[in-house]
Structures are given as structure tokens and as C-alpha cells.
Structure 1
């Protein structure tokens, strides 16, 4: 028996009249890509508008099954079987499409829409029992009657202009706005990668060295304000350089601009009660999409295997700084998205019902995880408990991404592609981790031999290893936290490596190399303590040495393994630095425009400066000069490093100059170097040829060198600055 489905009709009307909460379907066929880029929402919009405008108060054979149901059970309206078999409904829908859609709309487009959407948007659903053209051919006279809200649709009817355009307007505008969300997300992500590459390629253009030096001195190298960059302000935040500030300024500006542009409201619509409510939902959705795009971007910036490090001459420290700024923007956008939608729900019906929805509380979890990461990542916490910070940081990041993913899944499943941004973020993160594993697997498990240089420094020799630049070392036997790792600059070794013995003797078997800097990790030399570690040299496969200043944490445990004859297992994730970059390789090397090199090192920073010294040497007569100024607290590390250097000659080790091969070396043991005086003498005295200044040492030293070099560049010197540093 056929009965009137008035209750179903009422539920359907309530569902249609509910504003932004049901702005687009919560379930349906999966899409692939992003809205506007592989996914369409309402195409053609005239057909969707007709579908929403034709009444669905139908007489159907399955209506008896709906009697006794509560309102929540009927909020989807008539069943798909009812919609696809009810002749008055199909005729009315076909006539609306025929009369409302543009005349140039292809019939096959309408037929395709008819088959796929009359019953809904599910992957599996019944098809209409007649085609679009068959249903239209059954309309013999153009209908003019508009059905009342409580009347049953049992004949072919028309829809009013107001009803049709209230649906058509919102479908067209909503899809336009959604496409703009995804477009701006792509602009944000792509420009965040393209701009560093483009700016790095500019260095390959033949600009005059003097012009480049002056530009860098004013616009790139100095701190944005004050005189500190490597040294944090109030031990809390790092002041970016002016060059970094320009890029960070772009990131902030583009996020603010893209959050607000191309947003408008249409007053005649069937979804929203007023323009303010409508715009609030658009801004909230825009913030959500941009936050997702920023998640992918900030993960890209944070990785050690960030492809931008291979394609640009930007440092890892610069990308880590950008990572932190993007993280703030991402979190602010997530909070804005949550607050605006909370306001919409409160304005509409309160949050009692919506707060029980899975998509709602997963969104809250994701927002809270992002919000917690910021205060837990400030510099004082990172310094006080770095290992704890790192584990918490990764855990909260996983919760944030998982929460965002389930927020989308429970709200829209795979319909609209919002989860694509999260797939991008996951893929970038996975690539970085897989590359780390591959770098570790390349060398496998090695043995490391620890000796003490002096009271401040340890030396770790790893024979049979070939690495350059810097490595991340894992010491799995020192802690149950086997994932912990720390970066160290590599002192390359060739021909010999050290073995700890109990002989109580030292044997210097360092072998000269053509470069003047041999890397033979041969002996433990010059300890300031009364008892130096005893080492004998054996010919083994070439290896590397690491010089480590003792701190708390893993390095303190490493000190307990000094003179351990069997060595300890070590994993090396290598190699990183200039050698892995396609554009950064030549930054140290002398050129016709920059023939001179001045290296300034502090303490164990000498290990990062050695590659720069090596690059200045050639088979041919050098066209410029190379000088090293090295300040250390004690003689121990000087003796250890000079044990690796071929052709050391000159006066007392604590007095300069000495010569490491062809390199003029000045040592300051236990006293502070006058950096300004050194640089003014070396750079201003160099005449017209340009000078490359390489610095690695304490933050205060690096900042002083930066400011002095920038000042000299502003006063006419041709100079470029290369700072070797690790930011964390």
C-alpha cells in the first residue's frame, strides 16, 4: 500500500534548510585529487540545483518501512529506490534540468549526471529506471504549477525561480570558493619550495662581485635588528638575518593575504541565514585548508633529507627557522578554523549534539596537539631536555596528523580530497625517514674507539669509514633510546686509524697528503691531563675522526667509554653538508672573484672549518691567500688536530703564525681573539680581490664575525660570509 511520506518530507526539508553544517554531503563517492584539480563538486550546477529544488514528498512502495522511525533516522529523506522509480519526481526533475540548464549543455553530460546522481552520491546505488531523455519525453505539457510545502508530489510540477536560484547560487559560489581554497593552498606550498630554488639560482648569474657583496652586506647577512643572530635573545628566540627575514616576511604575508582574498557572500541562498554566517564558514574552511598545506610545508622544511637542501644554497639552519615560523602559522590557522566553526554551531543550535560527533572531537584533538607543540618547543625546553622534547615533538606531530585525518574521514570520507594534503605531509616525512635508514644502512654497524683529548674534548675514531661534511652519530649501546643521535663534523682519515692499547706509548704515524691536511686518525696527542690516552697506530682501512665537547646526556655517557679497547658500536647517518647539495659545493672554494680565504674557528669548530681549508688548496700555485685563526681554551685539541695535518711547521704551537702546509695558521690558546682587528687587517689589506670568510664556533663568535663582515661590505670591501652552524 502506498502512503504519504510526510515525515520523510519534513526530515528532508529540515536537512535542506540546515545551514553550513550540511554545506556539502558528508558521505559519497571517493574523489581523487583536490577540489578543482581532479575533483568536481557540483557539475553541472543547474542539475544539482534542480535536484535540491524539486520537492521530495513522494508516494513510494517502501514508505511503510519509514513509519515509526524517529527524526534522526529519516534525515536523509526518501530512499534511493524511491527516488529512482518515482515517475512524477523523475519527470519533474528532468523538466527542471531541461528548462533551467543552458541550451548548449551537452546531452551526454546530463545523462551521465542523471545515472550517477539521481539516487545520491554513493559508490553503490540504484540507477533511475528511465534515462534523462526518456523522463523528459514523458512530459507532454510544460508544467507551471509549483507544489506547496506539504503537498505530495504525484504529478509533474515546476520549481519557482526563488527556490531554484537559492540553490543554484550557493552551489556555484560554494564550489568556486572551495576551488580557491585548494588553489591558494597549492600557491602556498609550491611557492614555499620554488622561491628558495629561484633565489639560489640567482647566485649563478654573472653579477659583479662588488655589487653582490654590497647587497649582501645591507640586505642578507646582518641580523634583522641588533647584533645577535646565532645567540638567542633572552635565551628564548633567534633573530633572523635580514635575508631570512625577507623570506619569513613573505611566508607571513602570503598566509595572511590568502586567508582573506576572494571571499564573498550571496544573499539569495538555501544554506546560510545571513552573509556574516556565510563568510565565517568560508574563512573557517580557508584557514583549515591553508593549515593543511602548511603542515606539508613545515615537515618539508624540517627534514634532514629536504630536497630543497639539495637544490639550493640555503642552510639547514635557515630551513629549520622557517619550519618554526610556518608551524606558528599552521597552528593559528587550525585554531581559527576551530573557533569559527565553534561559533557557527553555537549560533545555530549549540554544541551539545555536534560535540558527540567523531569528526568534531578528532578535530579538537588535532588542534590541541598542534597547540601543545608550540610551548613545548621553545628554546629553554629544548636546551634543558632535548631528548624529551624530541620524543614529545614527534608524538604530538603524529597525533596532530592522525587527528586531522580522522577529522576529515568522519566528516566527508574520501569525497573532497582534503586528506590529500595529509598524504603529502606523510609522504614527505616517510621519505626523510627512509633516506635516514638508507644512509645508515650504507655503512652498517661500525666500531668506534673513544679517547680523551683533554678535560673538555673527546675524540672518536671510526676506522673503515668514508664520510665527508657532517654525520649524525647513534650510540645504541649507551642508552635504551637507540634512536637518539647527534650531529658532528667529520675529520676525514686516510691510510691509518687509531687503536687503543695498554702499551703506554704514542706513535705519530700521520701521513702527508697532497692537500696539506691529512686525515689520518692516528694518535691521541697533547692531553693537558698528566696521563694521556695511549694509542698505537696500525694500518687499517681509512676512517674518520669526530671531536666532541663533553656535555650532559649522551656525550657524558660516551666519556665512560674512554680507552675501551674493544670499542663501542656506532651507527653513522652520512653524509650531509655541502657535498650533498647541487648548488652549495662552490661556496667555500676560491674563485677569481674571491681568491682569498679567512677561516675563523672556535674550539671544536675547527672540524667544520677543515673542509673549507682543503678546498683552498690546488695542484697549481694558489692565486690568493688562505689563513686560519683558531681560538681554543687549551692546547690539547690543538695537538690532536695537528696530528692529522701534514707539513706542520713554524714556531711554538701557542704562537703564530704556523703553517699547515700552505695555510698560514694563527692560534690563540686560552685568550680571546680580536676578531674585528683580524678581519679589518685581512680584508681591507687584501686590496681589490674578494675574500671568503668562513666561521664556525660559539654563537657569540659567529655573531661578531657576521656583524664585522657586513660592516666591511657596506664600506666597500668585496667579501662573502659562510657560517657553519647547527641549529636545533
Structure 2
């Protein structure tokens, strides 16, 4: 103050011209109003999803609390039309996919066509159902409209030198604010412990679809936010000066992180573990960058909520691991399949390769498995302890062991392949491995209003179908015993398609339990590929020969086969203890002999070298007199075909509802 000369000091109030004040006031209030309106627009998008979830919650509560009233309402023409055209079918029909498959595979080798089909057709089969696609399309349209309307340009402007600069800033603020406010939805929908799954009844897979598309829209908004601000800075000519600011560094870091994360999503199926690890690391970078970017600008509360959702999800995961019992000892056993090797001399040799794993573990008993439940499992070995994969829980085969969890795992690439090779190298191809079990997860199906259930399972999808079918069979039998329903008024039909007979061997004990409900349950097994094991082929050929000659009972020729299995088992008893392949070979032959002997005379039937036409396989739906639930659990191609069959039933005004269970590892 001492350095200020008396000649430059102001000693009287300054009167600002009214026109200059009005111009400055209008410039500031317009900018603040534009940002405030952008915040309200973000709240409007919350209201859009909130309205959807409230409606879903009402429908879910009605299904559970008022099943018969909701089923009666579902028979109306309006609901039937919605199911036929929106709720059940996918965006792209499988008939169109079949044509595309023919075009993409034309003039290509079988291997190249397979790669092409997996890359393109698998993505098409995974397209969302029409109602989900419609909701996402409306959401994208609303976001587009909100970002393109309600802008006010003020000229002259005391903040911006030219109207073009004000436009760039308004566009950047609108897209940045709306994009930032969508982050809590992105984190919530990706959470394993999303409470909305229980409230609305929507599956984890459905929320994953919402998560992916909202993430993509958010990415586009943040990209536009960056582009418009860079255009504004370029118009001002002070990009280098602004680059020195911390918020610009952090904003660019966050943008690069989310850009790379989104781009890697296209290869996550092939390199899943690598994608998942990088996804988490880049997500941390993004959150930190976004936090520092918004620290002085505002809207940091949405970053805090997003991080809180993420942290709460991991706390719930740790709590579920602790409630299950912490580190548990799992008994693992390898199931093999026969693989044909063509030698250079033109001869064939047969090799046993790991096909599946059967894992049994006893947990704390603090929670009881329910039909359709799945858990995330960590294998506590040095080369895989950081990986976690979801596996469906099969109901314990022993009625008295309520604390037992049974997992049937298909051997694929990555973790399951490494684990199968490790167990195969041990005596008996079985061992005990320490694991962590994180669960339970999944949603149940309200079956109370349905008199009939038709299950269609593919491969290891039988793990889900078995648990649900067993629970439903017990409910139906209890209703029959209490006199509430007649045995003819209730039925359960299971259509199980498996690529090889080794998959059936996995469920030997489960098949025996299903036979106990032969009065209301029918199981049809279709082995779609040719048998590779010569002895199994010989047994099937002999059975087919007997059927062709109308021999409905076992002939004398079948006895030597059984005696041969027993003699082989006794001759190689010591060797079988050392090699689990021999033990499994004997068990597989015994199971096949049992299925063939009882085929057609029990509730379980089996057919070979045939992939059924689902349209004819589930034709009995047309003859069912009551409301019917159709449940599919298998590859995306199988589920899409079952959806088509369900739509055909709805066109004939049958009381049918489609449910799809998640096919996990």
C-alpha cells in the first residue's frame, strides 16, 4: 500500500454504466443458468431410469405376491401382444442370422468360417431383447435431445469474446455435466451386489447390457466435452497456457483412461483376464483424474457417489466370502472325453482329454442355496489366486448335506484349462484345493402360477436347470399329495442337448434323483455329436440293432458286456486308483448301459447323433391345458431358438412365459 501513489488511489465510489452492468449480469446469469439446466437434465435421466425400475418392481412384486391375478392379467390381448413383439423376441431374429451365417461362411474354409461366425454371429445372437433395446434407444434419443436444445447466445458478452466461443463452452458444459452425472448409473449397473436385481427381478445380465450401453453413451458425452473445450481453447489461442493447469492434465488423463478402457471391450471375450485387470486399473486412473478435474469446478459429489458404490460392492464381496466360511477345501475331480487323433499313416488313435470338472465343497451353512444360484470362486493357488469366475451351484445330491455346494465346470481356455491339467497330473485325477467362495448371487423364478414347466438346457446349462427342476418337482408333488392338484395337471419336461456322452456322466447322481419324480417329470437327453469311444459306439450300435428288430427287452447278448466291465474293473483295480481315466471309463460304460436298458421304459430317455428341432421338440406346449413357463439355459444360439418357439406359442394365444437363466462357466 505504501508503494501506491496518491495520484493513482481511488477515493470515491465508481459508477458503472447501466448498460455495461446489464451486459455483464446477463452474461454471468446465462452461463450459470445453462449449467444449472444441464444439472436438471441429468436428474431427468435419473427419473427416466427410476420410472423404469419402479414399473419393473411393481411387476416383480405382483408375480410373487399375486401370482394368479398377474397370470390372469397376462392373458389379456395387450400383454400377449407386448410379449410377442417386445418382451420375448430379440432385436435380430435367428432366421436372419441363419441367412447371414450362410453368406459369411460361403467360399471360406471351415476354420475361417468358424472364426468369422464366432466374431459376427455370436455378437448378433447376444443382441438384447427388443424391450431392452427400445429402452436404450429412447434413453439415447433423450440424451441427444437434451444436448441439442435450450441454448441462449448473449451478445455482447463480457465473458466470451465471440459467439462461437460461447457455443463451444455451452456445448462442452452440457455434455460434460450430463456425462459426469451418468457415472453413478455406470458403476451401479456393473456391480455384482446391485440391490436393484432383487427389487426389480431383472437379471445381472440385463444390468450388464444397460451398463455397457450407458458406458458407451457416457464415453461419447465425455469425448464431446473434450472436443468442444479444445475447440474453444484453440479459438482463444491459449492452449499452451491452459495445459499447465492441473485440471487440464487430470481431465486428459481421465479421458485417455476411459478411451482405452472402452476400446478394449471388443477383445474382452478372447483375453478376458487381461481385459478385466486392465479395466480395473484404468478405472482407478479415471476416478482419480475425474476427482481432481471436478475438485474446483463442481459436480464432484457424483464422482464421490460412484466411488462409494464401487467400494460398497467390494465390501459386500468380502462379507459374502466371510459368511461362506473363508478358505474352504474343495474336492475336485476331472471328467474326460474321448478325442480322435488321425495319424499320418491313415490310422486313428484315441486320447482322453479333460472335458469338465466336478467340485464339491462344504461351506459354513449361513445361507442355503436356492434354484439358479451361482457363486464366484477363487482358487488359492500361486498362479491363479487373483482370478475369480462365476460357477452355477448344483443342489447337493445328498439330502441330508445341506451345507454342500456342488459345481460342475466346463473346461475352457485360461483358468479352467490350467486347473484341469494340474488335477489330471495327480493320482486318480482328483485332489483337494483351497478356494474362496463369494456368494450367493442370482434371482429366483416365481413358478407358483404355472402348472407346467418346459426346460431347455444346453451342455453345462443343466446345472441351472437341475436345481430349478428339482425344487419345482418337490413343490408340484407336495401340491398333488395335499390334494390341491391332480398329477395330470402338473408336468415338468426337460430337453437336454449335450455335445458328447461325457457331459451326461457328470450328472449320473442327479439323473437318479430326477427319476424319483417320474410321475411328473420327463427328461430327454440328446447327444448331438458322434461317439468317439469305440466301446461306447459298439454298445449304442447293438442297442439300435435290437430296437430295429423290435427287441424291447434285454437279450442274452447284453450280458457279456456287463460282465466284461466288471472283470475289467477287478483286473485293473490297483491301476484304477492311480489313474482316474480308468475309473471314469468303467463308470461311463455302466451309466450308458443303464440308460440304454431303461430307454423308453422310464422317465429318462436318450438319443444319439441327433440335434433336435426345438419347434417339434417342444410341440407338447400346444397340448398343455394350463399356464406354462419355458426356461432356457444354454448358449446364446440355443436361447434365441427357444425364444422363437415361445413367440410362436404366443401367436396362438397360449399362456406361455419365457425365462432365461444365465449360462456361466
Which TM-score band applies after superposition, normalised by the shorter structure?
0.7 to 0.9
* 1:620 corresponds to which of 479, 497, 500: 479
* 1:417 corresponds to which of 280, 284, 298: 298
CA distance in 1, matches of 2:439, 2:664: 18
The answer on 1:693 being equivalent to 2:630 is: yes
8 Å CA contact retained: 2:187, 2:310: yes
CA distance in 1, matches of 2:360, 2:515: 22
Instruction: Give the match for residue 462 of structure 1.
Output: 361
Pairing 1:248-397 to 2, within 5 Å after superposition: 248-378=136-266, 381-397=267-283
8 Å CA contact retained: 1:478, 1:558: no
* 1:561 corresponds to which of 410, 413, 423: 423
Instruction: Give the match for residue 405 of structure 1.
Output: 291
TM-score by length of 2: 0.73
CA distance in 1, matches of 2:614, 2:222: 46
Q: Name stretches of at least 5 consecutive residues in structure 1 with no aligned partner.
A: 6-58, 61-150, 494-518, 522-538, 580-584
Question: Cα deviation per residue 1:552-594 (whole Å; 9 max; x = unaligned)?
Answer: 2111122222547661101111111125xxxxx41xx141xx3
8 Å CA contact retained: 1:320, 1:727: no
8 Å CA contact retained: 1:471, 1:573: no
8 Å CA contact retained: 1:633, 1:671: no
* 2:374 corresponds to which of 471, 475, 480: 471
8 Å CA contact retained: 1:331, 1:371: yes
Q: Secondary structure of 1:384's partner?
A: coil
CA distance in 2, matches of 1:542, 1:226: 43
* 2:456 corresponds to which of 600, 614, 627: 600
Give the aligned CA root-mean-square deviation in angstroms: 2.8
- Give the CA deviation at 1:727: 7.6
* 1:724 corresponds to which of 650, 661, 665: 661
Question: Cα deviation per residue 1:575-618 (whole Å; 9 max; x = unaligned)?
Answer: 11125xxxxx41xx141xx3111011112111111232134232
Instruction: Give the match for residue 682 of structure 1.
Output: 620
Structure 1 residues 247 and 658: CA distance shift in structure 2, 3 A: farther
CA distance in 1, matches of 2:204, 2:142: 23
8 Å CA contact retained: 1:606, 1:696: yes
Moved over 6 A (4+): 229-232
- Give the CA deviation at 1:520: 2.3
Instruction: Give the match for residue 588 of structure 2.
Output: none
Instruction: Give the match for residue 181 of structure 1.
Output: 38
Q: Secondary structure of 1:574's partner?
A: strand
* 2:393 corresponds to which of 466, 482, 490: 490
Question: Cα deviation per residue 1:621-641 (whole Å; 9 max; x = unaligned)?
Answer: 154211111122333443442
Q: Compare the two structures and name the one with the higher helix fraction.
A: 2
Structure 1 residues 350 and 690: CA distance shift in structure 2, 3 A: same
Structure 1 residues 235 and 492: CA distance shift in structure 2, 3 A: closer
Structure 1 residues 489 and 225: CA distance shift in structure 2, 3 A: same
CA distance in 1, matches of 2:448, 2:81: 19
CA distance in 1, matches of 2:191, 2:180: 18
- Give the CA deviation at 1:479: 4.2
Q: Secondary structure of 1:490's partner?
A: strand
- Give the CA deviation at 1:273: 2.1
Structure 1 residues 164 and 615: CA distance shift in structure 2, 3 A: same
* 1:245 corresponds to which of 127, 133, 152: 133
8 Å CA contact retained: 1:706, 1:721: yes
8 Å CA contact retained: 2:377, 2:390: no
Larger radius of gyration: 1
CA distance in 1, matches of 2:280, 2:308: 15
Question: Cα deviation per residue 1:2-36 (whole Å; 9 max; x = unaligned)?
Answer: 5558xxxxxxxxxxxxxxxxxxxxxxxxxxxxxxx
Instruction: Give the match for residue 632 of structure 1.
Output: 498
8 Å CA contact retained: 1:690, 1:718: yes
Structure 1 residues 656 and 596: CA distance shift in structure 2, 3 A: farther
Q: Name stretches of at least 5 consecutive residues in structure 2 with no aligned partner.
A: 63-68, 99-116, 338-354, 519-551, 553-593
8 Å CA contact retained: 1:448, 1:569: yes
Q: Secondary structure of 1:578's partner?
A: coil
CA distance in 1, matches of 2:369, 2:465: 15
Instruction: Give the match for residue 52 of structure 2.
Output: 195
- Give the CA deviation at 1:384: 1.7
8 Å CA contact retained: 1:448, 1:568: yes
The answer on 1:223 being equivalent to 2:90 is: yes
Instruction: Give the match for residue 63 of structure 1.
Output: none
CA distance in 1, matches of 2:292, 2:12: 44
Q: Secondary structure of 1:573's partner?
A: strand
Structure 1 residues 209 and 666: CA distance shift in structure 2, 3 A: farther
- Give the CA deviation at 1:545: 0.9
The answer on 1:520 being equivalent to 2:398 is: yes
Q: Secondary structure of 1:166's partner?
A: helix
CA distance in 2, matches of 1:441, 1:714: 49
8 Å CA contact retained: 1:196, 1:314: no
Instruction: Give the match for residue 573 of structure 1.
Output: 438
